[in-house]
Amino acid sequence: MSALHELTAEAAVRALHAGEAGAAEMVDAALARAEDDRWGSFLALAAEAARERAREIDAMPQRPPLGGVPIAIKDALSTRDLVTTAGSRILEGFRPLYTATCVARLEEAGAVVIGKTNMDEFAMGSSTENSAYMPTRNPWGDDRVPGGSSGGSATAVAAFQAPWALGSDTGGSIRQPAALCGIVGVKPTYGAVSRYGLIAFASSLDQVGPLARTVRDAALLLSHIVGRDPLDSTSLEWPAPIEVPQATDLRGVRVGIVSELMSDGVEPGVRAAVERAMGLVEELGGEVRPVSLPATEHGVATYYLIAPAECSANLARFDGVRYGPRLDDSDDIVEHYERTRGLGFGPEVKRRIMLGTFSLSSGYYDAYYGRAQRVRTLIRREFERAFEEVDIVASPTSPTVAFRLGERVADPLAMYLSDVCTIPVSLAGIPAVSIPCGLSEGLPVGLQLAGPAFSENRLLAAAHALEGAIGFDPRPPGVL
């Protein structure tokens, strides 16, 4: 058997149930990697609690389904008595009184939380450089970003600190870091996973999902978190169980490559890797044809009106009265709010709050926010029409490979364009999977596969078959 930290989650579960290893050993192996955190993956570790929980699982007469396999959790998800900051100073030291539903479901199934991962503040960013605490570095290159906002979770998985992790995706925050770190990321259908306990960025877009080193691991994790939650009115009854895929071919699968997302903005090496993957689709018996989604060209502009508008409302609750540090030397309540929010929020969060408040203001609502919602409807309808002709649409996940730390910090627009391929899928509320499809300049390239609502099983099956044909090695040089 491989070293415990090198096992996939699926292999770890098998080893635990076969008695080849114990949960305490698994957790110790993961914590040993996480405690030597040269990449800045974690904001908080739950070492003592994780070891105690692992011992409890080992003592159970019947081991739970996930057997005690360790997992890392994005710091946007509430965890009872474990610090949860959403990457922001305004929540520094905050310990929630409850655990997010998706995390609680995993713990009930036998997963052991080892820590909370770094992220862009309140999930606003594409590089994890907007964290109020520290940047995270990509295991494929210490001078490269891991993507964002779930960069800490992606790095923890890519650096073999945890076999899998939870992230959240608003405009690409699971898929884009998965692509840049050479792992698998899944954004489920909107409503598939309860958002109860997820610190909100944009409520009509946020969705929790898995990051893992294999498609089968991602499917296994997803199978334990989907489904209706009475605590979240937007969560959905799930029509069929999520299956761990076994497909080895793509016979009968029609894949549409999105012309607008293979444009001049995509780096040549990224485009070449995606085109090679489309060649493999045909070798596996699938059909590849071009599809056009013209409204996706307006995706970034649409997203950066809708998401900031929702965040300006969601973040109004963070005022130093109910959560986080309180400044007690203010003369009145208005000064208290101004000082607390001025010191507690970072530049990108302030930028988006101001943009959102402006777009919702009297006289501008119809011109900006209302129009953006109408374009969102057009994007969704174009996807619906495309799915009348194809089963899956494909594109690069990110138009570039991992860029250098600091390269885009002073240019917000360039940073926003990192999500140009992922945003349209989020606006449509449909599921998507990102898998690594090769290297460009020695760095991973991600392939995004998207399908109609509730098509997770079909997407995961196609992604698994293609993953096998691509044969990507997820081990960054020098990490193991």
**Tokens 């000064």 appear where?**
335
**Tokens 């409890």 appear where?**
56
Q: How many helices (H) and strands (E) does the chain have?
A: 15, 11
**Tokens 């989020």 appear where?**
426
**Which residues, listed in sequence order, are joined to residue 447 by a DSSP beta bridge?**
396, 435
Four-point Cα dihedral 4, 156, 113, 435, nearest 10:
-90
Catalytic, out of 41, 74, 359, 418: 74
Phi and psi for 433 in degrees, rounded to 5?
-125, 135
Q: Is residue 74 among the annotated active site residues? A: yes
Spatial distance between the Cα atoms of 358 and 46, rounded to a whole number of angstroms: 40
Per DSSP, the three-state class of 367 is: helix
Spatial distance between the Cα atoms of 253 and 457, rounded to a whole number of angstroms: 13
**Tokens 């974690």 appear where?**
42
Catalytic, out of 78, 88, 168, 173: 173
Q: Is residue 426 among the annotated active site residues? A: no
**Which residues, listed in sequence order, are joined to residue 376 by a DSSP beta bridge?**
none
Catalytic, out of 41, 149, 359, 426: 149
Q: Which of 406, 384, 358 is nearest to 455 (CA)?
A: 384
Q: Is residue 149 among the annotated active site residues? A: yes
Cis omega before residue 88 (within 30°)?
A: no
Q: Which residues are catalytic?
A: 74, 149, 173
